[in-house]
Structures are given as structure tokens and as C-alpha cells.
């Protein structure tokens, strides 16, 4: 089955569930109070929202044509860890760490699908960071604007599109119009910072492959690139052990 063809509009949801069976668990999974759809329907709506944003350009992202399909894939996988992280606390539905856990799941799914390093890097990076723009202005965030831009690296434009589509797809009863306006402002702010810090070149995937214990798939290399970029953005690159980290993945 060709997952690329299944991601082309209109989406072939049945085919996508065969290709990524992890998402089958999301079919009847209730979302948080900020969502009005079950998790699978939310994911499908996010993919459609990505298409709309690419046409409308509301937040002004500049996504290269050769990355559109990879962005669709990232949208498909961004909540893949929700079924295994769902919990409740004081009557609220929570999905603690579904972003970071999901980034690791992208690697395993990427191995199965034979994804390239670039495809996996983009999907893993966006999955791990897809919540961060929404909290970028919070003084207690672990990813303030410049750190987030460095963590996203060459995929800042795609991250802004996914973040916006994700917010639009979450039309739960607690979401208000001012929340949408604020998120649009955050996305455009993020894009300005990312561009000011750029350019952000792609990693040298071939060189990185040589540092990973073989055999390494394209998905392994892409995940390593994403993981190391996040560590570098957080300042871990100052640690001498940093250069040995790919061997631990």
C-alpha cells in the first residue's frame, strides 16, 4: 500500500489505518475539553487543516513544494501516542508527554514504512514540538521562542502550519475566538524569529549515519538528527558526551 497516495486529498482513511494501525486505537478515543472530535477524527481534521492553510496562508508560512507530502505525514502522526498516554486527573482528560513519546514512535513507524532520514526527521521533529508554539509566550515554558526556533531548525515553516491546523481542529467548548487570535499571533511571531535566526540547513544525514551503530535505517538517522537538534537547542551540546549520544539511540 502506498501511504503517499493515501495522504493525497481526499484522504483514504481506511488505507491509512492499515498502514499505521497504531491510529486505530484513536478511533473512539475521547479528547480533552478543548477538543470536539475523537482523536482519530481530530487527526484527519488536522491533515485537512494543513491543506487549507497551504492554500490560504493565514499565518504566512512558506512550505516548499517538495515538503508538502512530508508535512501531511507529520500531521497524520503528530498525535500517534495519545492512545497510550491518555489519563484523567480531577475530571480532566490528559495526554501527558504524548508529544515526546510520539516522536519516538515515529521512528519505529518510519522503520516499518521505510521512511527516509529526511521524512523521519521532519515528522519526528514536528511531533515532538507540535504543542510548543502554543506555550511559547509563557515565562515558564521549556521552549522559549529562540530555543524553539533552533529545535525546529529547517522545519520551522512546517511546524507553524501544523500548529495552526492543530489549533483550528480543536474546537472544543472551552476554546474561544480570542484563543484562535492569540495562536495565530504566536505562529506568526514564531515564524519571524525562525527566519531571523536562519538559515537552518538540513543535517548531513550521511555523516550522521556513520556515527550510529550499524545497521541503521533512514528512520534511525532521521530520528537521531531530530533528537540531537532538540538537545543542542537546550544547550546539551556543551556536554562532551553529546558527540556519543547517537550511539545510544
Segment 29-64, tens digit of pLDDT: 665 555 566 789 999 999 999 999 999 999 999 999
- The three cell numbers of residue 174 are 472551552
More confident residue, 5 or 214: 5
Cell of 9: 486529498
Q: How many helices (H) and strands (E) does the chain have?
A: 12, 2
User: Which grid cell sits at 123?
Assistant: 515528522
List, for residues 57-107, the tens digit of each pLDDT value: 999 999 999 999 999 999 999 999 988 777 666 567 666 678 999 999 999
pLDDT exceeds 90 at position 172? no
Q: For the chain, which residues make up each domain, given as ranges?
A: 3-248
First to last CA, the chain: 29
pLDDT value of position 247: 46
The three cell numbers locating residue 61: 508560512
| 81 in Cβ contact with 185 (< 8 Å) | no
Rounded Cα distance, 204 and 209, in Å = 9
223 in Cβ contact with 106 (< 8 Å): yes
CB contact at 8 A, 219 and 111: yes
C-alpha cell at 187: 505562529
Helix extents (H) in 65-172: 68-77, 82-85, 98-113, 117-129, 145-152, 156-168
Q: What does the pLDDT average to over 135-145?
A: 91
Q: Domain 3-248: state its class.
A: mainly alpha
pLDDT band per the 50, 70, 90 thresholds, residue 240 = very low
Concatenated DSSP letters of 40-51: HHHHHHHHHHHH
Percent of residues, the chain, with pLDDT higher than 90:
67
Report how far residue 231's alpha carbon sits from residue 245's, in angstroms, rounded to the nearest whole number.
10
Q: What is the mean pLDDT of the chain?
A: 88
Q: What is the pTM of this model?
A: 0.90
Write the DSSP symbol of residue 243: G
d(CA 56, CA 42): 20
pLDDT attached to residue 248: 42
Amino acid at each position: 500500500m502506498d501511504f503517499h497516495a493515501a495522504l493525497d486529498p481526499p484522504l483514504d482513511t481506511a488505507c491509512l489505518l492499515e498502514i499505521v494501525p497504531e491510529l486505530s486505537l484513536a478511533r473512539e478515543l475521547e479528547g480533552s475539553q478543548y477538543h470536539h472530535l475523537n482523536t482519530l477524527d481530530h487527526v484527519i481534521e488536522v491533515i485537512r487543516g494543513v491543506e487549507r492553510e497551504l492554500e490560504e496562508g493565514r499565518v504566512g508560512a512558506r512550505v516548499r513544494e517538495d515538503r508538502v507530502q512530508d508535512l501531511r505525514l507529520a500531521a497524520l502522526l503528530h498525535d500517534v501516542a495519545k492512545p497510550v498516554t491518555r489519563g484523567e486527573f480531577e475530571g480532566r482528560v490528559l495526554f501527558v508527554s504524548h508529544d515526546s513519546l510520539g516522536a519516538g514512535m515515529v521512528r519505529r513507524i518510519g522503520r516499518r514504512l521505510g521512511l527516509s532520514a529526511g521524512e523521519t526527521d521532519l515528522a519526528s521533529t514536528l511531533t515532538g514540538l507540535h504543542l510548543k508554539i502554543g506555550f511559547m509566550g509563557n515565562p515558564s515554558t521549556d521552549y522559549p521562542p529562540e530555543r524553539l526556533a533552533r529545535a525546529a531548525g529547517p522545519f520551522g515553516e512546517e511546524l507553524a502550519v501544523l500548529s495552526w491546523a492543530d489549533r483550528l481542529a480543536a474546537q472544543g467548548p472551552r476554546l474561544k475566538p480570542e484563543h484562535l487570535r492569540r495562536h495565530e499571533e504566536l505562529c506568526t511571531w514564531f515564524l519571524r524569529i525562525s527566519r531571523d535566526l536562519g538559515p537552518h540547513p538540513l543535517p548531513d544525514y550521511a555523516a550522521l549515519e556513520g556515527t550510529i551503530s550499524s545497521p541503521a535505517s533512514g528512520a534511525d538517522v532521521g530520528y537521531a538528527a531530530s533528537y540531537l537538534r532538540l538537545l543542542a537547542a537546550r544547550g546539551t551540546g556543551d556536554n562532551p558526551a553529546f558527540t556519543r549520544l547517537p550511539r545510544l539511540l
